[in-house]
Structure 1
Amino acid sequence: MAARRRQATQEWATRTARDRTDAPARGRLLDAAEAVFGRLGYGPATIADITAEAEVSRAGFYVYFASKDEVFRVLARRVRDAFLAAQDVPGVDTDDVAAVTEASTAAFIAAYARHLPLLVLLEQQAHADDEVRALWEEIRERPVRRAARYVRRVAAEGRVHPVVDPLTLSRAVGGMSVEFARTVAARPASYDAAVRDVTTMYRHLLGIGAPDRQ
């Protein structure tokens, strides 16, 4: 009975605290979980590893997350949102296609390089977990389809002249960005060149001019 009461209290605390998404401790736990999962892998990683990395108590962990599974899925959603945000390009005029291609490419490569260890792990876990698989498909597909909608719009307005179907083009640019991001993850100094080169190819596929080279 006492054990059930403790479990119920823990679950209640978790549910009632989930809206406090901006709490600094929650952010530290998520950052720590990403580092731990990337370093140890999903199976070997423990809640104790995460709380030690975050310098948060185990009780503090349960204020925000019910389990290791939950924090992993929250991380997956955070990564998905990071890739969608990469296409928002705040401060850039969306009618300026040249600026959008450079800003969105830079943001995508930066996000992929930053989250690469977790992305590798997500792809692995997707084979065994339906919910993770759905999140992984979102991470792969939503940015591509969103980019394709943008290309269709600016093509219809006569701003670009894509050499292939917008969805095919967006998949190609996404694939190039992923490959360059892997290099950036290993060699961060290559970031500027990676952005320049992918942007050049992106613009070529859109039928517009290449960026100025320094």
Structure 2
Amino acid sequence: MSNAQERARASRKDAGAARRTQLLDAAADCFDEFGYAAVTVEMIASRAHTSRPTFYAYFRSKDEIFMALVAQVSDQLSETQSLAGLENATTREILAATTRAYVDAIASMGGLVALIDMSATIDPAVAEIWNAGSAKRTSRYATYLRNLPPGVIAPTLEPERLVEIIGHAIHHGAKRAVGTDDAHREQFILDIIAVTERLIGVHDG
């Protein structure tokens, strides 16, 4: 394959990835605005400023694009726990930064997280992806706490159970904060950080 052919192939691949992202973004907006049942493939294609045949070039059905969104949202929530740029931060700073990032991520998604939560209670396929992401985040958080040097924290419970409780409070509290004004969301973030620090027993910083 010549260099020109390789560049053309790469360009088509990039264009395809951009179109897929455009469809996912449009689907997220539609599901957030109208709920799952009311959304159609035609609505998603229209919101993405493309055609029904183009939609089917990337996804076989409304169900498939919804499942892709479930996986994407789960990955985005997991990314909020990234410690990139926090290598020199204290434990207190890390807990605050990751908590804020998680709440902000849910707020940016509108009602989509609540829709996925509800869908996971009735659709085993959604539940499998959604619960796996939650379990991954819980395990990562608990492992982080266990690996802290002695004396940095004094957790009130075993780390795994403690993280489950904290994670549940942050997740569902953040959903309730969706649609509230910035001041109310900021107050929730500050309150949940304070509660997290108390439960974990943070001593540093």
Whether TM exceeds 0.5 here: the answer is yes
Amino acid of the structure 2 residue aligned with 1:66:
R
Maintained 8 Å contact 1:36/1:45: yes
| One of 179, 184, 187 as aligned partner of 1:186 | 179
Q: Distance in 1 between matches of 2:76 and 2:181?
A: 19
Instruction: Tell me the residue number matched to 2:107.
Output: 113
Q: CA deviation at 1:94?
A: 6.7
Answer yes or no: is 1:169 the counterpart of 2:158. Answer: no
Q: Distance in 2 between matches of 1:88 and 1:20?
A: 26
Kindly indicate whether structure 1 or structure 2 has the higher relative contact order, using CA contacts under 8 Å at least 6 residues apart: 2
String of CA shifts for 1:95-145, please: whole Å, max 9, x gaps: 621121011101111122233522222233334432112012124322222
CA RMSD between the two structures: 2.4
Answer yes or no: is 1:56 the counterpart of 2:50. Answer: yes
Relative to structure 1, the CA distance from residue 21 to residue 85 in structure 2 (aligned partners, 3 Å threshold; closer, same or farther) is farther
Q: How does 1:83-162 map to 2 (within 5 A)?
A: 83-93=77-87, 96-154=90-148, 157-162=150-155
Q: Which runs of 4+ in 1 moved over 6 A?
A: none
Maintained 8 Å contact 2:154/2:200: yes
Q: Identical aligned pairs, as a percentage?
A: 28
Q: Distance in 2 between matches of 1:81 and 1:163?
A: 29
Q: Distance in 2 between matches of 1:128 and 1:199?
A: 32
Maintained 8 Å contact 2:26/2:48: yes
Structure 1: any 5+ residue segments left out of the alignment? 1-18
| One of 23, 31, 49 as aligned partner of 1:29 | 23
Bigger shift: residues 19-28 or 106-115: 19-28
Maintained 8 Å contact 1:93/1:99: no
Q: CA deviation at 1:167?
A: 1.2
The alignment of Structure 1 onto Structure 2 pairs a total of residues equal to 192
String of CA shifts for 1:135-168, please: whole Å, max 9, x gaps: 12124322222211111111x5442121111112
Amino acid of the structure 1 residue aligned with 2:167:
G
What's the secondary structure of 2:111's corresponding residue?
helix
Q: CA deviation at 1:185?
A: 0.5
Structure 2: any 5+ residue segments left out of the alignment? 1-12
Q: Distance in 2 between matches of 1:143 and 1:134?
A: 14
Q: CA deviation at 1:197?
A: 1.4
Maintained 8 Å contact 1:203/1:210: no
